[in-house]
Amino acid sequence: MDILAEVESMALNISDVQEIAPEEADIARWHRLFGYGRAEAIRRIEAYRSDDSRTRISDELWATVGSRKEAEGYNQEAYEDEYTLKNGWQARSGLTACPTVSGTFIVQLTGPLASPEKIKDAAGLGAAPAVATGVGEDGHADFC
């Protein structure tokens, strides 16, 4: 774990000041996208906004997918929450692994993809990939 990167991410979350209480448009968006009732949508939005340690998607990723996701009704906040959900964001959203991409990829086991099982689920694989040990940016690391 890169502690400096984690602290920087938390600082960005804290500096991204917004009202914790959601507006009606946000509640309606989360209801439409995720099927939450009003109370659950409010609870989840407030939990997301008050989590200073939440994982943020990069500006580059949002620049890549933002216009398509906005056409589907998302804003960056809703997409970020869905993308980083620990309990299978694929299943809840209907998103699937990118079917047009094929090949071999090396993925460091970290963040939302911290285990071979999570890689398996995210990529839609039949079995969890093998783990290899190596050296990452911060020293010893595991990879699939």
Asked if 139 contacts 111 with a C-beta cutoff of 8 angstroms, the reply is: no
- State the Cα–Cα distance between residues 98 and 13, nearest whole angstrom: 28
Q: What is the pLDDT of residue 113?
A: 86
Q: What is the pTM of this model?
A: 0.49
Q: What is the pLDDT of residue 74?
A: 92
- Ordered mean pLDDT values, 10 residues apiece, the chain (144 residues): 58 58 91 89 87 75 88 89 59 44 75 87 85 81 88
Domain ranges of the chain: 3-91, 96-144
- State the Cα–Cα distance between residues 33 and 94, nearest whole angstrom: 11
Q: What is the pLDDT of residue 98?
A: 46
